[in-house]
Amino acid sequence: MTQKKRLDPTKMKDWEIAQAGEADMKTVQELAEDLGITHEELFPYGHYTGKIDYMKVLDRLENRPNGKYIEVTAITPTPLGEGKSTTTMGLVEGFGYLGEKVIGAIRQPSGGPTFNIKGSAAGGGLAQCIPLTDFSLGLTGDIDAITNAHNLAMVALTSRIQHEFNYGDSFLAKKNLKRLDIDPNNVAIGWAIDFSAQALREIIIGIGGKMDGFMMKSGFQITVSSEIMAILAVANDLEDMRSRLDKMVVAYSKRKKPVTAGDLEVAGAMTAIMAKAINPNLMQTLEGQPVLVHAGPFANIAIGQSSIIADRVGLKLADYHITESGFGADIGFEKFWNLKSRFSGLVPDCSVIVATVRALKMHGGGPAVVPGKELDPVYSSSAPELVEKGLENLMAHIETVKKSGIPPVVCINHFYTDSDEEIAVIIKAVEAVGVRVAVSKHWEKGGEGAAELALAVKDACNDKKDFKFLYDDDTPIRERILRIATEVYGADGVSYTPEAEEKMKKLEEQPESKQLGTCMVKTQLSLSHDPSVKGRPKGWILPIRDILEYQGAGFLVPVAGDIKLMPGTASNPSFRNIDVDVKTGRVTGLF
Catalytic residue set: 84, 86, 107, 118, 299, 327, 415, 443
**How many angstroms from the chain centroid is the CA of residue 148?**
20
Give helix 227-234 / helix 267-274 axis angle, nearest 10°.
60
Q: CA angle 171-176-177, nearest 5°?
A: 75
112 close to 128: Cβ distance less than 8 angstroms: no
Phi, psi of 448 (to 5 degrees): -60, -40
Q: CA angle 161-162-167, nearest 5°?
A: 105
Return d(Cα 341, Cα 467) in angstroms, integer.
Answer: 10
Give helix 442-449 / helix 451-460 axis angle, nearest 10°.
60
Give the bridge partners for 519, in sequence order.
none
Q: What is the DSSP letter of 576?
A: G
Q: Give the CA diameter of the chain.
A: 79
402: Cβ contacts below 8 Å, ≥ 6 apart: 408
**Region of residue 81 (phi > 0: left; psi between -120 and 50: alpha; otherwise: beta):** left
Amino acid letter, 165 = F
**Region of residue 518 (phi > 0: left; psi between -120 and 50: alpha; otherwise: beta):** beta
101: Cβ contacts below 8 Å, ≥ 6 apart: 67, 318, 319, 320
Q: How far is CA 293 from CA 95, 271, 284, 308, in A?
A: 18, 20, 10, 12
Beta strands at 203-205 and 216-218: parallel, antiparallel or unpaired: antiparallel
Is the previous residue joined to 131 through a cis bond, with omega within 30 degrees of 0? yes
Return d(Cα 544, Cα 520) in angstroms, integer.
Answer: 10
254 close to 265: Cβ distance less than 8 angstroms: no
Return d(Cα 393, Cα 390) in angstroms, integer.
Answer: 6
User: Counting beta carbons within 10 angstroms of the beta carbon of residue 215, is it exposed (0 to 12), middle (13 to 18) or buried (19 or more)?
Assistant: middle
Amino acid letter, 439 = V
72 close to 352: Cβ distance less than 8 angstroms: yes
Beta strands at 49-52 and 249-253: parallel, antiparallel or unpaired: unpaired
**How many angstroms from the chain centroid is the CA of residue 412?**
21
Helix (H, G, I), strand (E, B) or coil at 103: strand
Radius of gyration of the chain (CA): 24
**Region of residue 197 (phi > 0: left; psi between -120 and 50: alpha; otherwise: beta):** beta
Helix (H, G, I), strand (E, B) or coil at 22: helix
- The helix (H) or strand (E) run that includes residue 389 is helix 384-404
